[in-house]
Structure 1
Amino acid sequence: MIIDLTTKVREELVEPWLAKQEKKHIALGHVGTHLDTYLKSEIPLEYFKTRGVLIDASSYSEKREIDIKDVEKYEIKKGDFVLFRTDRINKTYGTVEYFKDHPELSQDLIKYLAKKEVAFIGIDAAGIRRAGEHTEADKYCEEKNVYVIENLSNLDKINFDEMNIYTMWLEDKEATGLRCRVIAEKRD
């Protein structure tokens, strides 16, 4: 079974917002499912295929930060893609409600995952931290060779525990957000 985790964004949603952006090329990299790379580090090619670990935080992520205690029961290994399901993506991507006070990971959890040397932290929300802490959290992760992928979708369709995640991106010397395609595949 294969599930596309990439958020498809309608042009009519993007065009009005993009028209207001000074650096359209840079802004476009942060639309839909994308990988943040503020430090412009080179993403290891072996990150293309990773083992996936899905954390279903949908029942509590709107009420509190997702913390270490929420992931302790999972076996998280070096090189994993840790996916956080919050169901925020179901609040209509691109609306003010989607971006306002979105679910976030605790600072301790971000450090914990970086120490575990995961490859990716993915979330079906606008980021792993809000507002002024958003970029700093992404930079911290990138310094540790961990990359944050935002605005995932269809995490609620994953009904299997063992999976491979395939992540495809194109390098860009200017963009701080790299649009990407993310696919989950059930492992036999």
Structure 2
Amino acid sequence: MGTQTGSHVDAPYHFSNTGETIDKMELDFFLGEAVVIHVTDKKADEAITLEDIEEYKDEISDGKIVLFHTNWYKTRGTDAFFHHPYVNGEVAKYLVEKGVRFIGIDTINADQTGGTEFPVHDLFSEKRLMIGENWAYFDKIDFEHPFVIALPMKIVGCDGSPVRAVAVQWEEE
């Protein structure tokens, strides 16, 4: 099994030889309250833009995990899987400015697959932030304020790790 197999996280080292490897990342990167951004109307090879996240801007804040719900995981096993919606560079910059440390997406790549530029990976690597890719079932998160847990294996010297990502709802006392 490779470090980029199935639902996984990318450490900064994935796109930078000077970035930190997965074993050097603190575990608190991989758990926290999340904001689910619903962009299921996006088409093949279409960018997720600032306009798409406008209604979520009040929820996006320091330390939050942002999940991009495209439903594209349902195309797994087809040619369409590799022609997925992707996060554009402006959105990535905005999220970094807001203090987001981790994004997850239910596509194979946060950037456009087959492209020659990787603005999301480059920026997140430079800023020592995390990307989760190839996740699934964001459509099952039917409650507010999900708490996401996606712990990686401690694989020394590697660029990422498969994860078993879950979203839980804490009971109010």
TM-score norm. by structure 1 comes to 0.76
Deviations along 1:115-174, one digit per CA (max 9) or x if unpaired, are 11212110000111123334x532320222321100111111111112111120123233
Q: For residues 31 and 89 of structure 2, what CA distance do their matches in structure 1 show?
A: 26
Relative distance call for 1:61 and 1:55 in structure 2 (3 A) is: farther
Q: Equivalent residue for 1:144?
A: 127
Contact 1:117–1:146, Cα closer than 8 Å, also in 2: no
Q: Equivalent residue for 1:91?
A: 75
Q: For residues 129 and 158 of structure 2, what CA distance do their matches in structure 1 show?
A: 18
Relative distance call for 1:148 and 1:48 in structure 2 (3 A) is: closer
Relative distance call for 1:171 and 1:133 in structure 2 (3 A) is: farther
Q: Equivalent residue for 2:138?
A: 155
Q: Equivalent residue for 1:129?
A: 111
Task: Report the Cα offset of residue 48 of structure 1.
Answer: 3.4
Deviations along 1:5-29, one digit per CA (max 9) or x if unpaired, are xxxxxxxxxxxxxxxxxxxx6xx11
Contact 2:45–2:84, Cα closer than 8 Å, also in 1: no
> Amino acid of the residue matched to residue 50 of structure 1?
G
Q: Equivalent residue for 1:44?
A: 26
Q: Equivalent residue for 1:76?
A: 60
Q: Which runs of 5+ in 1 are unaligned?
A: 1-24
- Bigger shift: residues 119-128 or 44-53: 44-53
Q: Which runs of 5+ in 2 are unaligned?
A: none
- Pick from 119, 132, 157 the counterpart of residue 174 of structure 1: 157
Q: Equivalent residue for 1:33?
A: 7
Q: For residues 166 and 139 of structure 2, what CA distance do their matches in structure 1 show?
A: 13
Aligned to 2:93, what secondary structure does the other structure show? Answer: helix
Aligned to 1:181, what secondary structure does the other structure show? Answer: coil
Task: Report the Cα offset of residue 70 of structure 1.
Answer: 1.6
Q: For residues 122 and 80 of structure 2, what CA distance do their matches in structure 1 show?
A: 25
**Correspondences of 1:7-26 after superposition (within 5 Å):** none
Task: Report the Cα offset of residue 63 of structure 1.
Answer: 6.7
Aligned to 1:50, what secondary structure does the other structure show? Answer: strand
**Count of matched residue pairs:** 159
Return structure 1 stretches of 4+ with deviation > 2 angstroms.
39-42, 60-64, 131-134, 171-175
Q: For residues 133 and 63 of structure 1, what CA distance do their matches in structure 2 show?
A: 14
- Pick from 103, 106, 117 the counterpart of residue 99 of structure 2: 117
Aligned to 1:73, what secondary structure does the other structure show? Answer: helix
TM-score norm. by structure 2 comes to 0.82
